[in-house]
Amino acid sequence: EDKVVQSPLSLVVHEGDTVTLNCSYEVTNFRSLLWYKQEKKAPTFLFMLTSSGIEKKSGRLSSILDKKELFSILNITATQTGDSAVYLCAVEAGYGGSQGNLIFGKGTKLSVKP
Amino acid sequence: DTGVSQDPRHKITKRGQNVTFRCDPISEHNRLYWYRQTLGQGPEFLTYFQNEAQLEKSRLLSDRFSAERPKGSFSTLEIQRTEQGDSAMYLCASSSSWTSGRGETQYFGPGTRLLVL
């Protein structure tokens, strides 16, 4: 059965700290891995990763994928209280041109204290 | 506003009643997805449309659930004879298959929070 496992499930840090969130997966017909940020509403898209070893960056956030070891990490540097949220990892699995279901992990709840 | 929209944002109903939710995707997106999310869990896939065709349904989608996308634009999700276990956030997402290559980004709407009493 396809699954996505995130760790840790929750994390408390202080402003200015750097955090690393982990996502491992076991899926057939991997297509892509996506990271979302969810506050008290719907998930908002952060990154989509399809190739191993290529880092994606957006401001203080960065992410990388290892397709050999089947995991991804999301780094947040110089954390701010506004980074407090649940970070969801999802893997898209599908065949050729068919649709890709998103299989989500349970998320990592990040709390950034002032 | 060019994002995914959902209506209503909140719905409270009594057990046994029918409810219907609407999703309007991003206009140029041909794919539309429904997910369900309960507290402390990631979203779970329910069903998926490409244009007006419903191409896949999860085993989570019991026969009390039905979804339509009649003109390939907006979609509705109906739950008949609601049960307390149906209480959840129902999320809609859309994406485009027009880009070549693997992977596509799904953009989520704000969700409809359902409470069944």
Res A99: pLDDT: 53
Contacts of B39 (CB under 8 A, 6+ apart): none
Residue-wise pLDDT for B64-91, tens only, equals 999 999 988 999 999 999 999 999 999 9
Res B106: pLDDT: 84
Top-confidence residue, B115 or B58: B115
User: Which among B42, B48, B97 has CB closest to A104?
Assistant: B42
Cis peptide before B70 (omega within 30 of 0): no
The answer to whether the beta carbons of residues B51 and B72 sit under 8 Å apart is: yes
pLDDT (average), residues A8-18: 97
Phi then psi dihedrals of residue B85, to 5 deg:
-70, -10
Count contacts between A and B (CB, < 8 Å). 63
Res B67: pLDDT: 95
d(CA A87, CA A78): 17
| pLDDT-based confidence at residue A50 (cuts at 50, 70, 90) | confident
d(CA B4, CA A110): 26
